[in-house]
Amino acid sequence: MTTRGLPLGRKETQRLEFTSGEALKDRYAIGREVVGMLNAGQGGEIWVGLAEEEHRAVRVEPISDAEIESRSLHDFLMDSVEPAPLAEEIQIQLEKSEDGDEVLRIQAKGREERRPYALLRKGGRHYVIRVGDRLRPMTREEILGPGEGGKKGRDEAIRRVLEERKGVLQREDDLLWLRVEPTGPVSLELQAPLFDEIVLDPTRTDNRRTGWHFARSDHRPALGNGRLSWVLTYSHAHGEQRFSVEIRQQGGFEFRLDLRDLDLAEKLPDGAKRAIHEQTLLEYLVSAFRIVRAVYTDEEATPSELPEEIVVDLVLVGLEATALMRRRGWFPPDPDDNPLYGEGRVFTLAGVPLVFPTSEVVEERGMKVVSDAGELEAVCARVVAAHPSQVESIRAGKKGVMGFLVGQVMKETRGSANPKLVSQILERLVGG
């Protein structure tokens, strides 16, 4: 028996699922969640006995005879999952709240060489996988094997990007076009306020507050057809220009910038109609990839697992008589000497989209847990002051409402606060 803090206030993610004690009446529903975790890359936990609201654990619903229920559920899973789970693949533990209420924590993590796992029911095999905070049926490629499915996902992502590139090249615009496309299924939660903060707040991306970054927007983001798009404003030494950013529900990104807005040279070299400073070009691209990183590493924005690879395509169109300005001199506007030139007026990274390991673009998922009592005390105090009616309910004996306050603190800290420490601080503040 353990007594560690329960994840009250935490939000359901790729690796975390909450369900009430009533779910024990339908063990097949729990079995589906377990199989979904087994088939997902990193596995996860299913908590039985924690009620959720808006995908956050808000209160404990204790399980009667939890030890008996644990043994019965374990036997069911051993008989109903194929291949039969190994001891280390499924573990069920009893967890106690500080009030002594018992719930179940199911840890499920499958082995790559034993996948896919199936739930046996009514003579059939049901293959599901967890993506974000939901389950979906596995595709034929996923069931047949990760190797072939991975290659097909990569080829399909490249095909999509090349098809879009073709449309870009057919236009007469002079532009910089950058596309990032995942090679596997990704599900983004396209909530405009959340993405507004990620895109517009430089502290979320490590971009500078002035210069080539996504500093502010004069337009509200437009959401439609599974895409969230902005017309944004950036600042530079010569004024302000605009560019567009589009984030797609399936995890793709598109960045567009009028190539004429990269022209910052006041004095052009002989034979050039336009000059692009290499630092300007580099900083813009770095800023774009920081947006990608910020979205992919935010578990609320990207609750699903990321594929191992992403496809990247960079195209500059309209480079006739363009010189590349360097810190020491110029690359002349000559196709034989200028590295910006590709075929005619078009430059591409390597002729075809490039495939990169996702790990090279994003940092390791997950945020550092905040356990600084002083920092959390200030947040908890603000939450208590902002919700007087809930505080009075708790003082009147409705302890279940405490989960609401914990949830508000977790929301303010973006899930990074130590929930056990949060509960202790709130109990002290409310009790005082």
Q: Is there a single domain that holds both residue 104 and residue 197?
A: no
Looking at the fold, whether 21 and 60 belong to one and the same domain comes out as: yes
At which of 138, 168, 194 does a domain end? 138
Give the percent of the chain with pLDDT over 70: 75
Average pLDDT over residues 334-350: 57
Same domain, 240 and 352: yes
Mean pLDDT value across residues 184-205: 75
Q: Both 126 and 182 in a single domain?
A: no
Whether the per-residue pLDDT at 314 is higher than 80: the answer is yes
Output the pLDDT for position 91: 94
Highest mean pLDDT among 135-149, 212-226, 344-358: 344-358
Final residue belonging to a domain, choices 360, 388, 404: 360
CB 90 within 8 A of CB 35: no
- Do 289 and 393 reside in the same domain of the chain? no
Task: Residue 376: count other Cβ atoms within 10 Å of its Cβ.
Answer: 21
pLDDT at 241: 65
Predicted pLDDT of residue 284: 79
Q: Per residue in 384-427, pLDDT tens?
A: 999 998 898 888 888 778 877 887 887 777 656 776 788 889 98
CATH no. for residue 384? Answer: 1.10.10.410
Pair 197, 108 in one domain: no
Please state whether 211 falls in left (phi above 0), alpha (psi between -120 and 50) or beta. left
Domain co-membership, 80 together with 160: no
Give how many domains the chain has, as a whole number: 3
Q: What pLDDT, on the 0 to 100 scale, is given for residue 112?
A: 81
If asked whether residues 209 and 293 sit together in one domain, one would say: yes
* CA distances to 184, 363, 406, 409, 420 from 386, in Å: 42, 35, 13, 11, 21
Q: Say which amino acid occupies 55.
A: H
Residue 334 confidence (pLDDT) above 70: no
Mean of the per-residue pLDDT values of the chain: 79
pTM over cut 0.85:
no
Select from 138, 172, 205 the last residue of a domain: 138
Rounded Cα distance between 133 and 110, Å, is 18
Look at residue 327 and tell me whether its pLDDT is greater than 70.
Answer: no
Domain identity same for 60 and 204: no
Q: For residue 213, what pLDDT is reported? A: 47
- 208 or 222: which leads in pLDDT: 222
Segments forming the whole domain that contains residue 325:
147-360
Say if residue 133 is in the same domain as residue 63: yes
pLDDT beyond 50 at 366: no
The lowest-confidence range among 51-60, 71-80, 335-344 is: 335-344
CATH number of the domain encompassing residue 70: 3.30.950.30
Lowest mean pLDDT, pick from 173-182, 273-282, 328-337: 328-337
Angle between helices 373-386 and 402-412 (to 10 degrees): 120
Q: What is the mean pLDDT of residues 132-143?
A: 81
The predicted structure's pLDDT at residue 342: 47
Q: Are residues 133 and 218 in the same domain?
A: no
Instruction: Evaluate if residue 330 carries a pLDDT over 60.
Output: no
Total residues found in the chain within this entry: 432
Q: What is the pLDDT of residue 109?
A: 92
Question: 85-111: per-residue pLDDT in tens?
Answer: 998 999 999 998 888 889 999 999 998
> With bands split at pLDDT 50, 70 and 90, how would you rate the model's confidence at 290?
confident
